[in-house]
Structure formats: C-alpha cells, structure tokens
Structure 1
Amino acid sequence: MFGLVAASPPGGAMGAHQIRTQDGIELWYRVAGQDAGIPVVFLHGGPGEGSQVMQALGGPALERRLHMVYLDQRGSGRSERPSGSKFYSMHLLEADVDLVRHELGVDKIVLLAHSAGTTIALDYAADHPDHVAALILTGAVPDLPAAIDNLCDRLKSVHPELYAKAVKARESGRKCNPFAVFGDKQRQAFFDDNMFPNRIVRERVNWLDHIPSLANSGQLGEALSAQGFMDYRFDRPERLSMPVLFIAGGHDFQTALGPQRTLAAKLKDGRVLVYPNSGHFMFADEPEQFASDVSAFVSRATRSLSDHSEP
C-alpha cells in the first residue's frame, strides 16, 4: 500500500539482508537509495515499532539523496523476536548497530534516529564516537523523565479530571503517571492527539504500525522498561564530538523540546531545528523538507571529515 520493499541478496549491496548476532538473533536490515556516500543508518522508535514507517513515508525522499540503511531492531519488524528478557538490553541494541556497521564494511556511519531510537543512537555515539560521522535525532528523548513530565502537563491541559487521578497514581519523584488512567483505546487516542496534527499522516502511520507481520509485540519495550528504561537520561555530552542535529515538531506533545535544546547547547556542534507545523512523525508530515535538511546536514558533516583528513 505504501511501497514496502521485499528482500534481496546478502552482503553490503542494495536490498534486504539478514545477519546473525553473537547471541544467535537474526537481524533484518535493508540498504537503499544512492549507491555511494556514507551510510545513513536509521534507528526506529517504539521501542519495537520497526522501520516500515520511515521506509514508506520518509524513505522515498531520503533515498533520492542519501545512502540509506534501515535496521529493524531485535524484537521488531522483520527481525527475530526471541522470548526471554536476556535477549533485550540497551547494550545489546547498541552492539547490533555496530554489527551492522561491520557488515556494511565501513569505518563511519551517520545515525538517523527517531523517538525511543534516539536513546540507542546517543549511547552508541558516546561509546563509539570515532565511528559516527554525524548524529540526527528526530522526536528525541534524551531525558525520558522530562518527557513523561511533559505528558503530564499535556494531560493536565486537555483532561484535567484524569490528571488528578494520574497524580494519585504517580511513582516517587514523578509529576504523575499518565499511563495509569486510560483504557487502551483512550490511551491510543491521547497519544495520537499528541503526535499527529495531520489526520492523514496519523492514519498512514497507524496502518503501517499494525501490519500483522510487523506490528509491535511489546516484547522489546517491556524488557527495557523492566531494566529501567523509563529513567533514561543521557549524561555524556562531552563524548559527542561529531555534529548533532535535533529535528523537532512544533506540534509534538509526546516529547519535550526543552531537554533537546539543553543537550544541544552542551555539545561541541549541536543545533536544533523545529518544524512549526509538524508532529512527532515530522518526516511523514514534511518528507521533502526533512530529506533536504538531513541531506544538507550529512553533506556538511562529510565535508568536515574530508577537510580534517587532508594533510
């Protein structure tokens, strides 16, 4: 319906590939777009959403300009979904990114991440700064407690009666518990209103998210939550020596813009770009503008690498 692409040969060539991790998990990734230039590896959100939304709605514009790589994280999309919490952790997700980099046969990659995937990108870039040429974070959550507080503020403004209940259900140190006061359908409607100013984009994203073979099983998110994921705060800005671009939606009420600006200000080369009319899926709201901004940023980072490599 929205142009998803089937599998093709193994290796670093164009098409879809399957590789196996050291702990035996089969990962799926797809290489597309320009057959030249530094690979731009996309890390989806969720956790557990899969890369199909970006491939279908943002990918066509990106692929006209960039060498794209879409990774379905373990437990997500077309990658294997093992049972057991031992197969899921931030450390393993980060190791999977490095495995894909090795499979691509390159020393450096650009990381383009969305939502919960930005936590993996931040940790990978901090642990492997020499392997990341540039970092692009969209709908970023560098401080998840602050993002949850932002949800509380949103709940207070649109559902004050539910906010009072959420305050009573809060955990120690939290403003409220916005997840405890909804039924499943109500919760989805609240999140949709937070993320999608455009009804058509909402319908497309939700259709792609609910393709039976690709839908989020919840395994990855549940495992990470049990390991303290909801307390994630990135606290190593000094490790991010590469250029970093935050792209935020002016109508994205699912995340918090303040922590993105705060982190960008601490970086050697950090900048924030806000799309006033977009939501959480800004690459679907404004795909051509998004692709133009991302490709320009990648070009700038690539030129900077070339300049520094000259004797």
Structure 2
Amino acid sequence: MKKIPFTLLLLTLLLVPLASKAVHKNFYFTTSDGVQLYVRVAGEGKPCLFIHGGPGSWTKYFYALGGDVVEQDMTMVYVDQRGCGRSSSPRNNDYSLARVVQDFEELRAHLGYDKWLLMPHSFGGTIATEYAYTKPERVSATIYINSTLNLEEAKHNSINNAARIMGVPVSDILKPGVSLTDAFNGVMYSLNQKDLMYKMMYRDKAMFQAMAAVMDTTLNWHFGSNVWNYKEYEQDFTLKSAAIKMPVLVFSGKYDYSVGPEHYKTFRFPNATYHQLETGHCPYQEQPEQFRQHIRSFLAKLE
C-alpha cells in the first residue's frame, strides 16, 4: 500500500473543513452606473439571490425573521436594491426594470456564478419574473415566496380583504373618481389607524410587531418613492410566467390577504410546484422548518 506523505495528509485534513465552511461576508458592490449596493452573502450550497419586496424595503426583514434557515442548504446572496435600505440611489433616478435586472447581472458576474436561483418575496416577484424571462440562461430555478405577479389584481385583493376586516362595503373604498392606487393607499392608512394592519399579513399580531421592529424607516426609501413613475412594474407578469420553463417553486399563504390567498392560481409557469401553507404573508417567519423542508425537497430534484 502506497504511503501518503505526512505533509500532504496534513494539508488534506486542513483543507477539508475549509471547503465545507459556510460563506459569510458583507460588502458594497458598485454598479456600472455608480450605485453602491449593500450585499450580504451567507450559507453554503447552490447560489441563490434573494429579491426583497416593498417596493422599497430591504433584505434584513427576511434573514432576521427566520429566512436564514435556508442558509443551511444554499449560499444566499442578499442585495438591498438600488434606492433601498443600505444601498445608495442612482443620480439619474433610473429605477427601470431593465436597470434593476442589470444590477443583479453585474453582481452575479462579479461573484463568479454562471447561474443562480432566484428567491423573490412579495413585490419582488415582479422583478424576478422579468429577470427569469429576459435572462433564462442565468437562472437555474426560481422560488416565489408569497409573490405578486400582477399589482392591479393584488391591490383589488387587498382592498376587498381590508373592507372585510374593517366590516365596511367595498363601495366605501372604491369610490367613483378615485384611482385604484389612491383607494389602496387610503384603506391601508385606515387599517393602520385602527391597528388592524396585522390582519392583512398575519394571524398573530406579535409576529407583525416583530416584523415592524426590523424595519428601519431612517434608511433609504428612494426606490419606493419613485417606482410608480415606471408603469412597467404594473404590467401583468403572469403573461410572461408562461414562457419561464425552468423549475419553479411557489409558496402562498392561506391567510395572506396582502397579496391574496388565491393569487397564485393565476400563475402560468409550465414547470411549477405549489405549496399553500397555513400562514400569512411570511412563511419563513411563521413556519420556518416547514418552509425549509419544502425548499430542500425542491433542491433535491434539481440535482
């Protein structure tokens, strides 16, 4: 039997734990148009880009409230989008879909990934669908978490459910001459005033309060203030979903009234697996282990 030199054996033993060690780093990445994006990379396994919602929020609400459970199975790349959270704003106010997708593409190339998974939550579903539709060669699979692909329908769902929660007729909210967006903003304000907003997203008020505690309103919210200048975000992305052929996993919540419990039924992905959980808008927070198990099963099929 051939003996392995001691120095080679020692080197091998030293490298094994290093190879299996999870990645964890934070940094700022500068885009080609000079925007500083806050990036957090954590976990081990297949690379996956988390696309946060809002519009205009940040990534911390996901990994701080239980979403980090998926870091056991994937290398998660968290990016505060341009004009959001800890990232800077573009000087020319460019928040177009194409530019946001380009940000992600530039970061992917910088990290050296040929492909990665996408994991959008809520409003992030619109961006992820555009990304997977325009750059299918760079997306290996997509995991939609309580995502909207049609903002107009989502607003209708929210208004109908808000009316039910407050015990008023929908006609009191959707009044003649009032735009859908103004009606939506108005009813969200009313829910806040009545301390009922949590019922749109959760069954447990304490979980809503935990989510609210993570949100830092002193950070950048420029994207959220400017996104509605770009009508492309209000298109019906379910039409594009029909052309997205890579594997797709879709989560929805039986009690998610912010997007709508039935909204996922409008999706047209040809290769999708659906799971409706006994949760509201944030299954990673409400049922983290069940959330993780569904993702692990999905990942196993990608091998």
Q: TM-score range by the shorter chain?
A: 0.7 to 0.9
Matched letter for residue 297 of structure 2: A
The structural deviation recorded for 1:292 is 1.8
> Is 1:159 aligned with 2:166?
yes
Matched letter for residue 264 of structure 2: Q
Mapping of 1:160-175 within 5 angstroms? 160-161=167-168, 163-168=170-175, 171=178
Distance 1:102 1:183, change over 3 A: same
Mapping of 1:188-203 within 5 angstroms? 189-203=195-209
Distance between the aligned counterparts of 2:181 and 2:28, measured in 1? 43
Mapping of 1:82-121 within 5 angstroms? 82=90, 86-121=93-128
Contact 1:169 1:176 survives alignment (8 Å): no
Secondary structure of 2:276's aligned partner: strand
The structural deviation recorded for 1:230 is 6.1
| Higher mean C-alpha deviation, range 118-127 or range 182-191 | 182-191
The structural deviation recorded for 1:232 is 2.7
The one-character-per-residue Cα deviations of 1:266-299 (angstroms, maximum 9, x if unpaired) are 32211221112x1111111111111221222123
> Which of 54, 58, 81 is residue 89 of structure 2 equivalent to?
81
Distance 1:164 1:185, change over 3 A: closer
The structural deviation recorded for 1:31 is 1.0
Secondary structure of 1:177's aligned partner: helix
Q: Any gaps of 5 or more consecutive residues in structure 2?
A: 1-22
Secondary structure of 2:37's aligned partner: strand
The structural deviation recorded for 1:171 is 4.8
Distance between the aligned counterparts of 1:143 and 1:267, measured in 2? 14
The structural deviation recorded for 1:170 is 5.6
Mapping of 1:154-303 within 5 angstroms? 154-161=161-168, 163-168=170-175, 171=178, 177-181=183-187, 183=189, 186=192, 189-210=195-216, 212=218, 214=219, 217-228=220-231, 231-234=234-237, 235-263=239-267, 266-276=268-278, 278-301=279-302, 303=303
Distance between the aligned counterparts of 2:54 and 2:78, measured in 1? 15
Matched letter for residue 58 of structure 1: G
Secondary structure of 2:28's aligned partner: strand
Distance 1:175 1:100, change over 3 A: closer
Distance between the aligned counterparts of 2:187 and 2:46, measured in 1? 45
Secondary structure of 2:197's aligned partner: helix
The one-character-per-residue Cα deviations of 1:126-158 (angstroms, maximum 9, x if unpaired) are 001111111011111011111111112113312
Distance 1:224 1:176, change over 3 A: closer
Matched letter for residue 296 of structure 1: S
Percent of aligned positions that are identical: 28
Distance between the aligned counterparts of 1:175 and 1:182, measured in 2? 11
Q: Any gaps of 5 or more consecutive residues in structure 1?
A: 1-12, 304-311
RMSD: 2.4
Mapping of 1:50-89 within 5 angstroms? 50-82=58-90, 86-89=93-96
Indicate the structure (1 or 2) with the bigger Cα radius of gyration. Answer: 2
Contact 2:191 2:197 survives alignment (8 Å): no
Distance 1:188 1:270, change over 3 A: farther
Distance between the aligned counterparts of 1:33 and 1:25, measured in 2? 26
Counterpart of 1:4? none
Distance 1:255 1:187, change over 3 A: farther
Matched letter for residue 86 of structure 2: R
The structural deviation recorded for 1:202 is 1.1
Contact 2:85 2:221 survives alignment (8 Å): no
> Which of 50, 53, 59 is residue 45 of structure 1 equivalent to?
53
Distance 1:178 1:269, change over 3 A: same
Matched letter for residue 158 of structure 2: L
Return the TM-score normalized by structure 2.
Answer: 0.84
Contact 2:202 2:280 survives alignment (8 Å): yes
Matched letter for residue 165 of structure 1: D
| Higher mean C-alpha deviation, range 37-46 or range 203-212 | 203-212
